[in-house]
Amino acid sequence: MCKKDGVLNELSHQEENSTLKQEEPEPLQIKQEPEPLQIKQEQEEPEPQQFKEEEKPLCISQDEEHLVLKLETDDILVIPFNVDEKQKQNEICQKTKQLKSEKPFSCVTCGKGITTKSNLVRHMRIHTDEKPFSCTSCEKRYSSKFCLTRHMNSHTGQKPFSCETCGKAFRSNSDLLLHMNIHTGEKPFSCVTCGKNFTTKSNLVVHMRTHTCQKPFSCETCGKRFTTKSNLVVHMRTHTGQKPFSCETCSKSFRCQISLTLHMRTHTSEWPFSCGTCGKGFHEKRFLNDHKRTHTGERPFSCGTCGKSFHQKAILKSHLRTHTDEKPFSCETCGKRFSQKGNLTSHMWTHTSEKPFSCETCGKRFRQKRHLTSHMWTHRSEKPFSCGFCGKSFHQKRYLNDHKGTHTGEKPFSCETCGKSFRCYRRCLSKTLKFHFILSAFHLKCL
């Protein structure tokens, strides 16, 4: 309707002010054009549809032209604005990725690449051992404010971050994120040498030291070196005698938390690791791995001096003391020294007359569990170890080995005083050789 009124006003204005139109050259030229003539004819026979079609050239005023141009200009400007924003976001993302990959800052000590200068400053504190942030409660110091904040929660007991799966709470969000890998099974950090995967970067760093044989943490007392600081802390307690972790059931104390956890299984009769071959259960996975080698016959630990192999590293460690004559365990009562802690424990019962291991069949008691195990064979008719020369059977393999010497004439055990050799080490050595020592002490001749 607005456009129609505008056209009618224009036509009436042309008729009333014909002289004014003559002074204006541009409207006279428009009248001479065929389109305005057609419009006048259409006024005599008005057809609304044709009138609407022809209204465009006459309806456009300066204001309307400005409005249309403005709208068209706005439409044109809106489109490139969104495109520019998208491009800016993409450029920011690309620059961020580029900065992360570039790592323009490097440590002058170890050569590690760092993304930002602030991270480089924090990293340098590892080498300088600088710890500018201290706890107001215990005066413990830290290299970063984040570590201090996490430590402060240990005093307040505050654990604001909890796992939605198991409900376990943590002092920091980073600890929670690391914990979540247990539920998801995700191990994003892999070793480039052996391909083993780990849930945390710190575990990977510690693992890498097994390949490089790097042990950066050393004991100030004995000089022994360790791959992790936590292992050093536990080791230091062997010098101080500190055992902060105690069992609530029997009050036995331990140097580290894991030892207490494993000990608790002796009270709960928990055997989480079982052998797939014989079904025997174990408190720890490492004991299961050692046990499996008894089925496979594998002996990966060998002595560098005599070449003898063992299926457990602990047995090899004890064996090495036979070459070095090292006896690190001493009795506090009589001062006698032993190469193994188990032998010291058994010896201590000689002072107390304690025999904690008893036979369920006859009630006989023993100071050592292995003696009880040997005794149990006397109640059984089974003799699984037989001699290949004469067919004689024995309850235990050690008795068979002693017996074989009667056929081979082998006497592997000799007296250091006179050089006389003996066939057996255990029973024969404990009686015959001990008696031989007495004779040697009194300068008596052996028969």
> What is the rounded CA–CA span in Å between residue 114 and residue 96?
14
Average pLDDT, the chain: 74
Three-state DSSP at 128 gives helix
Tens-place pLDDT, residues 172-193: 787 888 888 888 888 888 899 8
pLDDT at 377 over 50: yes
C-beta separation of 83 from 91 below 8 A? no
For residue 110, how many other CB atoms are within 10 A of its CB? 10
Element at 358 (helix H, strand E) = strand 357-358
Q: Which residues form the domain of 115?
A: 106-164
pLDDT value for 324? 86
Let me know if residue 439 belongs to a domain.
yes
Domain boundary among 164, 180, 199: 164
Q: Residues near 107 by Cβ (< 8 Å), separated by ≥ 6?
A: 114, 120, 123, 124, 127
pLDDT band at 162 (very low <50, low <70, confident <90, very high): confident
pLDDT band at 110 (very low <50, low <70, confident <90, very high): confident
Q: Indicate the residue type of 430.
A: S
Let me know if residue 171 belongs to a domain.
no
Q: Residues near 238 by Cβ (< 8 Å), separated by ≥ 6?
A: 255
Let me know if residue 216 belongs to a domain.
no
Let me know if residue 221 belongs to a domain.
no
C-beta separation of 232 from 224 below 8 A? no
Three-state DSSP at 52 gives helix
CATH code, domain with 419: 3.30.160.60
Let me know if residue 129 belongs to a domain.
yes
pLDDT at 199 over 50: yes
Three-state DSSP at 325 gives coil
* pTM across the whole model: 0.39
Q: Indicate the residue type of 413.
A: F
What angle is formed at CA 378 by the lines to CA 374 and CA 384, rounded to 5 degrees?
75
Tens-place pLDDT, residues 326-370: 888 888 889 888 888 878 887 887 888 778 888 888 988 887 777
Measure Cα distances from 197 to 24, 201, 227, 259 in Å: 90, 10, 19, 26
Q: Could you give the number of structural domains in the chain?
A: 2
